[in-house]
Amino acid sequence: MRIATFNVNSVRSRAERIVAFLERNDVDVLAMQETKTSEAKFPYAVFEAAGYEVAHVGTNQWNGVALASRVGLEDVRTQFDHQPAYEGSVEARAVGATCGGVEVWSLYVPNGREIGHPHYDYKLQFLYSLQHEVAAQTPQLFTGDFNIAPRDSSVWDIAWFEGKTHVTEPERAAFEMLLEAGLVEIRHDDAYSFWDYKAMRFQKNQGMLIDFLLATPPLAGKLVKAWVDVDERRGKGASDHAPVIADFDTTAFAYDEVR
C-alpha cells in the first residue's frame, strides 16, 4: 500500500492538482491537512471521480483534515479521544479511518504561534493527548503536519530559529514522547518537506522537515521505501509543503481484515 501525507494549503484551490499527484504517484491513501474549507464545500466529486472515498473534517477557512482512500474507508473518527479544545472549540485537526487493514490518522498539529502563547500550550497538550491513541501492537499510522522539527538537521539554519517555535525543547520532547509511546518515525533521505513562500525559500532550499509518518512496529516493519515528492513543490499553484510518501507491504493486514 502506498500512503502519502500532504499539507495541501487549500484543497478547493488545488483539487485538480492533488488528484493529478495521486494518479502520477499511484497513491492508495492520502492524508491531507489544511484543507481550509467546510465539509459542505469540500470537492468530494473530484476525488470520487478518480476512484477515492473521502472522509473530511472542516468547518471554515482554517485548519481542516481529510483522508482519501481507494482501499476502503471504515470506522471513520472525526477526532481522537481526549482531543483538546482551543478557546472552547475542538478544531478540525484529526480524522482517522481504517484503510486496507491499517488505522490511518491525518493530523494537523497546532502551530504554536509564539513561545508562551496559549496556542503553544495547546500544541503541547494536543501532542500529549495523542499518545494515548497509540496501540503499539496493531497496524497504525499517525501522519500529517506536526509543526515540529525534531532535530537541528530538520531546519535549514538552526541559528535562524533561535527564540522561535517548532524547534524548542518542549516541542521536541512531545514528539519524542510519541516515539516512546510505541511509534516509529518513517525515515527517508530527503532533507525537507516544507519551504516558506517568503524570501524564495524553496529556490534557496531553505526548508524544514515537519511532515511525518509515524507507524506502530507491526506497520513500520513492513516498510519498503519512503521519500518526499519535492517536484510537487515546484511550479505555479504549488502548496508550500511537499508530500511525504511511503510504501508498505500490507498484504497480511488486508487479509486479516477480510477474515
Q: Which among 33, 164, 15, 31 has a CA at the least distance from the CA of 91? A: 33
pLDDT tens by residue, 154-183: 999 999 999 999 999 999 999 999 999 999
pLDDT tens by residue, 44-90: 999 999 999 999 999 988 999 999 999 999 999 999 999 999 999 99
249 is an active site residue: no
pLDDT tens by residue, 94-113: 999 999 999 999 999 999 99
Range of the domain at 15: 2-248
188 is an active site residue: no
In angstroms, rounded to a whole number, what is the distance separating the alpha carbons of residues 190 and 228? Answer: 6
> What pLDDT shows up at residue 129?
98
- Determine whether 214 is exposed, middle or buried from the number of CB atoms within 10 Å of its CB (0-12, 13-18, 19+): buried
Contact assessment for residue 69 and residue 44, using Cβ atoms and an 8 Å cutoff: no
Amino acid at 39: E
Task: Check whether 259 has a pLDDT greater than 90.
Answer: no
Q: How confident is the model at residue 254 (pLDDT cuts 50, 70, 90)?
A: low
Within a domain: 255:
no
Within a domain: 254:
no
How many structural domains does the chain have? 1
Contact assessment for residue 210 and residue 191, using Cβ atoms and an 8 Å cutoff: no
User: Catalytic pick from 52, 166, 211, 241?
Assistant: 241
* Domain of residue 163, CATH code: 3.60.10.10
7 is in an annotated binding site: yes
In angstroms, rounded to a whole number, what is the distance separating the alpha carbons of residues 151 and 137? Answer: 27
Within a domain: 91:
yes
